[in-house]
Structure 1
Amino acid sequence: MNLLKVTQLILLAAIAFACIKFIVNNTVWEKLLALNVIFSKILMFILVYAVLEKNSHFIDLALSYSIMGFIGILLITKFILRGGREK
């Protein structure tokens, strides 16, 4: 088994644990932190897959995914800080 495939398996396990943490947590901020961890682990998974397949197109995909994840987290945080649906 290749070292990159082992890395992918470890990342999949980390994503699964982060999903469980997202479900179990009670506060909104802990859920947001778990969501950010999920985004970053998926980004690392895409990059490892790009190296494994020797395809640079996946690096562009990972870059756009990271930008969308960052903007998404910022928008969710702004929504929560303004009161969310309570207004």
Structure 2
Amino acid sequence: MRTADHQRIIAELDALLAQLMHLMQRFETTGYNMAMKADYISLHELQARIIEQRQGHLGAMAVAHSPALALPCPPKATH
């Protein structure tokens, strides 16, 4: 994947997170976070998955820009 692809996906995930945060605030404001607790918990789980995917794309971009991050340094030989 190219950096531009990662950036586009991150932007889409950011937009999704913003919409999700708005929905979660509406749940809290109206009290549905208590009345529909399972749905509210599902929203938090979705938020965690989105953040995890976002971090994955950020990490992939970091590795692409700094290949040294992709491979651990081999141990030094001590003879």
Q: TM-score normalised to the size of structure 2?
A: 0.63
Relative to its length, the structure with more helix (as a share) is: 1
Q: Does 1:24 align with 2:36?
A: no
Matches of 1:40 and 1:34, distance apart in 2: 10
Counterparts in 2 of 1:3-82, with a 5 A limit? 3-25=5-27, 26=32, 27-54=36-63, 55=69
Aligned length: 56
Matches of 1:30 and 1:20, distance apart in 2: 15
* Residues 15, 41 of structure 1: 8 Å contact kept: yes
What do you get for the CA RMSD once the two structures are aligned?
Answer: 1.6
> Which structure 1 residue ranges, 5 or more long, are not aligned?
57-87
- Structure having the higher Rg: 2
Point out which structure has higher relative CO (alpha carbons under 8 A, 6+ apart).
2
Find the residue that maps to 1:52 and give its secondary structure: helix
The structure 1 segments of at least 4 consecutive aligned residues displaced by more than 6 Å after TM superposition are none
- Amino-acid identity (%): 7
> Which structure 2 residue ranges, 5 or more long, are not aligned?
64-68, 71-79
